[in-house]
Structure 1
Amino acid sequence: MHRERVFDFWLTAAVTVALFIPIWGVLLRPTGLIRLPVYLLYLGVPALAVILGALIYGARSNRVLLNRFLVGYAGGFTATAIFTLLTVGAGPWLDTPNVAVALGQWVLERPLTAPVTPAVIAVGMAYHFLLNGAAWGAAYALLFGKAPWWLGLLFGFFIWAVLVLSPPFYQWGLAGAASGAWLLIALLLVHFVYGGIVGYIVYRWVFPEVGMEGIKAIRPLYA
């Protein structure tokens, strides 16, 4: 059996950090501190290289890392699809923000009030699903491994708290106050749904090793 290595732990940590690069881009863009295309070029591309390199390494030497990433990413993607359906459905009643459109406008460096084009929708949906929702799911799986499914609910609450206290939400009023308490409650509920789905999928399909709290569970793909 291949000896366990500290390298595997730090690689998992590096991948987790890399997953949050596009997420931080979303949080920082409304502050005016960054231009999202430039940010993605100089930080997003290296982050992608780290992730791809880790997945190649995982396919050869660390099945736990590969399994957690793929299951978490798939769980995050699935949960984002349901999250999007719920928010779009609630839009006429709660005036929920169209996150995908905002992301598309930011990536293409257009004002939020600019006309919504097919390119804006395509870019925004890709960012929302692949670099945001799915990335949160992969980070959850890497951090917590086969944790109880209900931990995903707490994870969803954490994401909600980050959202309502971050700059992207300021355009709807600090912590959503301008749109009323019902918007906050609705977003909290759909984030609970998101987190619950991620938590269940990760609990159901990741390998039964512990998360980043220990490297003793890391096993190579080929003994």
Structure 2
Amino acid sequence: MQKGWGLSKLVFRIIEQYGYIRCRDGKKYVFEEIRRDTRYHEMYPAVENKRLKAPLWVKVSGEWYFVELCTDTASDKAFINKLAELGNYGVKGFRVDLYGLKTQELKRMLESNGLKEAVGKINDFYYDNKWIEQTSSTCRASVTFGSEKNRRDCTYRMLEQTYHYAILEGMEVETGDKHLVLLYDEYEPKDYAKYFNEKYGKTGIPLLYAKWNKRMDYNWWLCIGRRSNLQKRLAVD
């Protein structure tokens, strides 16, 4: 390998050379084919956003998986936002997590031309397989409805979104039963609820509500994924 390698490029090249990924759960994924810098919609034609791109794609058992690298808070946030953008399409992939001291140590090695040492360190990380996890853009949550005690495992896709609210379609994994969720922020929630009821109230599908704290959850995917309870009525403070 040559001098002047950036951390991301080096990590992806090593992954390519290994020819497989072993995740935190111990499962091994062997590559049948590799592609670099390819847009999501080329691999998953249903994806509407034509701009989103993954730095690496690997084919495993006939299916394409993206490989994305997170090295700091900014790249982690960008990755989560990408999952929200792809949440309706069930795109599969691998998240490579090089947070904290590992990232800083590797960057110092590369800046001081310690390429050999950096490669060795990445190989060590790769071998202990604690920094890669298999993931999917499918949004899942385990929730209760209102005052119910029984939890329901559900998947969600986004139907509508504005700056102040999002409307999601939920489906229970076990039964296939559907429900709709209005995620609302603090700005005029009653107006959103009125629109929600007028448009979807006659569908016969249960309507549920959850408050969206954007200071904590910066996209719908995070918001619903962290909810443990959905209200049967709009709760306004």
Structure 2 length normalisation: TM-score?
0.23
Radius of gyration: which is bigger? Answer: 2
User: Which one has a larger percent strand, Structure 1 or Structure 2?
Assistant: 2
Compute the TM-score of the two structures, normalised by the length of structure 1.
Answer: 0.23
**The structure with more helix, counted as a fraction of residues:** 1
Report which structure shows greater RCO (CA 8 Å, sep ≥6). 1
